[in-house]
Structure 1
Amino acid sequence: MKNLLKKRRLDSHKGDYGRVGVIGGSTGMTGAPYLSTLASLRTGAGYAYTLVPSALENIMSIKVTEGIVRPIEDNGVGHFTMESLQDILMYIKNMDSIALGVGMGVDGDRTYIIREVIKAAKVPIVLDADAINCLSNTTHILDNHESSLIITPHPGELSKFLDISIEEIQKKRVYYSEYIAKKYNIIVVLKGHRTVVASPKSGIYINETGNPGMATAGSGDVLTGMIASLLAQGLNPFDATKLGVHLHGIAGDLAREKIGEYGMIASDIIANIPFAINSYSFKDEK
């Protein structure tokens, strides 16, 4: 795992470390894209662009000081609509990875947007939260995709996706993760204790880092941003995903050492991402 991280060249610049596009947000759910954006930067992305409904532009511009906020047409309703699609498709052309669905909300328009982004994107996409919920009744969207797709469900989201009980999924976490990975040719991250990462071609990785304090709102948004960041920096999808999961857990473990499990919040995990990365030895970049 440690060999996946490289030392940075002395003559490098921010353009060398990728552009992450975080697409999400809706009224009352600005925290999700904010956490993904900040996590992507803390994991080393050179740029992070936050694409949110235009009604949320002011609050996101205040929250996201190191990233770049791109307001998307929303007809003033505070969530993406059909009129949002063209702006989104224009912006993703310049991204190196995409984090899609965080805090987005669920309806027919947003399901259509997710489908069109998957069809149009030429770069890896991390599908989280409401993107997964939107796909639950339209799984055929995953049948044909040019870009690499990573989905990051918790057991409840996977239960809805497969229409089986959470209890059944928890009994066979590896089986169902691998089943979906192979059926749709995607990478699956089944979150929880000993998070499972399943690839249709590269096998299974079971994570051993992390702790119960990370069971807190926004923790999954942090993971989404971390994986998207590593993808934008050029790691292959399976390596980026398993490394993101591993570092996410280490950051949570470092937070526990400082504040314990009960009071941990998502921003505590983000604050410890650089320390998690610094705990590694880096290989020289060629």
Structure 2
Amino acid sequence: MNTFRTDRELLRQWRRLARSQFPAICQPRPAQSHKGTFGTLGIIGGAEGMAGSVSLSAVAALHCGCGKVWLGFHQPTLPLPLLTQQPEIMLATAEHLLQRSDISAWVIGCGLGTHESAVSVLKSCLQQHNIVTLLDADALNLLAQQPDILAGRKNKHNIILTPHPGEASRLLQCSISEIQGNRNQAVCRLAAKYNAWVVLKGHQSLIASPNGQVWQNNSGNPGLATAGSGDVLAGIIGSLLAQQIPLEQAVYAGVWLHGIAADILAANEIGPIGLCAGEIAPAVRWLRNRLSETN
């Protein structure tokens, strides 16, 4: 069990901010809750040699409060019988997971690969029109190569794209320096081009809605500049979406929780240097429980 030290006044400030900006993540859980109450997240990715990325995403989703998490590997057969570090997560191949009818939200792309078979998996996922879907990593690279992948999607307003500057440059067909030179303009261009919600990751990540409204996140520290951090963020946002948190709050709150978790770890002498992506999830769980306290 992880217990973190935090200044009480700082914790009160976090509660006030969260309750004013994304109150849905601060609600205490009803006594009659069951696992179905908090949704089922489907996560697809993990081509051969890339199982770690989707595993990080799935563990983060579970720690952020999702009722059930399915992990679909983009491989012909399962690469492992269970996640030993988190056996509560259910495993399937991507092909079989896409046949399920009980998924509340999708996250796709972490370690998905960019071969033709990955394109087919992404298209199949996007065909589930009424289910909110987050595209990360290789799903973004595929979208950059084939922008018409979203053409058949009736409701693009429940699509979330989470690029880092490199992925953003491919999506906009420009240089990384152009992205970083005017991040506000870049995130607006992305949201307009793809008619979707966009999280442009990096220092003070930016979020743009499809109608061009922009929000800047101020939580986090350089400890997040580590392999797998983006996969964890995808799992956190996906978890909130599966829990039926309103989309706008889920995206804003997910980015904020991810950053505050890194701040908590740094304050507890876990980073920022050497912070590992797998350490973020327990801090998110701790924080969500503190936010839901009534005192």
TM-score by length of 1: 0.89
Cα distance, 1:111 vs. partner? Answer: 1.4
1:120 to 116, 123, 128: 128
Aligned in 2, Cα 1:189/1:180: closer, same or farther, shift over 3 Å? same
Q: Partner of 1:70 in structure 2? A: 92
Map residues 185-224 of structure 1 onto 2, 5 A cutoff: 185-201=195-211, 203-224=213-234
1:166 to 172, 176, 189: 176
Distance 1:224 1:166 in 2: 22
Amino-acid identity (%): 37
Q: Partner of 2:34 in structure 1? A: 13
Q: Conserved in 2, the CA contact under 8 Å of 1:34 and 1:63?
A: no
Task: Return 5+ residue gaps in structure 1 as ranges.
Answer: 73-83
Cα distance, 1:266 vs. partner? Answer: 0.4
**Matched AA of 2:55:** Y
Q: Conserved in 2, the CA contact under 8 Å of 1:34 and 1:60?
A: no
Map residues 16-95 of structure 1 onto 2, 5 A cutoff: 16-52=37-73, 53-58=75-80, 60-72=82-94, 84=95, 87-91=96-100, 93-95=101-103
Aligned in 2, Cα 1:63/1:268: closer, same or farther, shift over 3 Å? closer
Range moving further from structure 2, 150-159 or 118-127: 118-127
Cα distance, 1:282 vs. partner? Answer: 5.8
Q: Partner of 1:97 in structure 2? A: 105
Cα distance, 1:62 vs. partner? Answer: 3.2
Runs of 4+ off more than 3 Å: 54-57, 59-64
1:136 paired to 2:157: no
Length, aligned pairs only: 269
**Matched AA of 1:18:** G
1:266 paired to 2:277: yes
Secondary structure of 1:58's aligned partner = coil
Secondary structure of 1:192's aligned partner = coil
Cα distance, 1:145 vs. partner? Answer: 1.7
Cα distance, 1:56 vs. partner? Answer: 3.6
**Matched AA of 1:65:** P
Aligned in 2, Cα 1:202/1:166: closer, same or farther, shift over 3 Å? closer
Cα distance, 1:26 vs. partner? Answer: 1.5
Q: Conserved in 2, the CA contact under 8 Å of 1:51 and 1:71?
A: yes
Aligned in 2, Cα 1:59/1:106: closer, same or farther, shift over 3 Å? farther
Distance 2:42 2:61 in 1: 10
TM-score by length of 2: 0.86
Cα distance, 1:278 vs. partner? Answer: 3.0
Q: Partner of 1:79 in structure 2? A: none
Distance 2:190 2:171 in 1: 10
Cα distance, 1:7 vs. partner? Answer: 1.2
Range moving further from structure 2, 193-202 or 207-216: 193-202
Secondary structure of 1:136's aligned partner = helix
Q: State the Cα deviation string for residues 123-152 of structure 1 (Å, max 9, x = none).
A: 111101010011111112223423511010
Q: Partner of 1:81 in structure 2? A: none
Cα distance, 1:55 vs. partner? Answer: 3.5
Cα distance, 1:63 vs. partner? Answer: 4.5
Q: State the Cα deviation string for residues 31-55 of structure 1 (Å, max 9, x = none).
A: 1111111100111000000111243
Cα distance, 1:206 vs. partner? Answer: 0.6
Q: Conserved in 1, the CA contact under 8 Å of 2:160 and 2:196?
A: yes
Distance 1:273 1:208 in 2: 16
Range moving further from structure 2, 97-106 or 171-180: 171-180
Map residues 165-184 of structure 1 onto 2, 5 A cutoff: 165-184=175-194
Secondary structure of 2:65's aligned partner = coil
1:250 to 245, 260, 266: 260
Cα distance, 1:184 vs. partner? Answer: 2.1
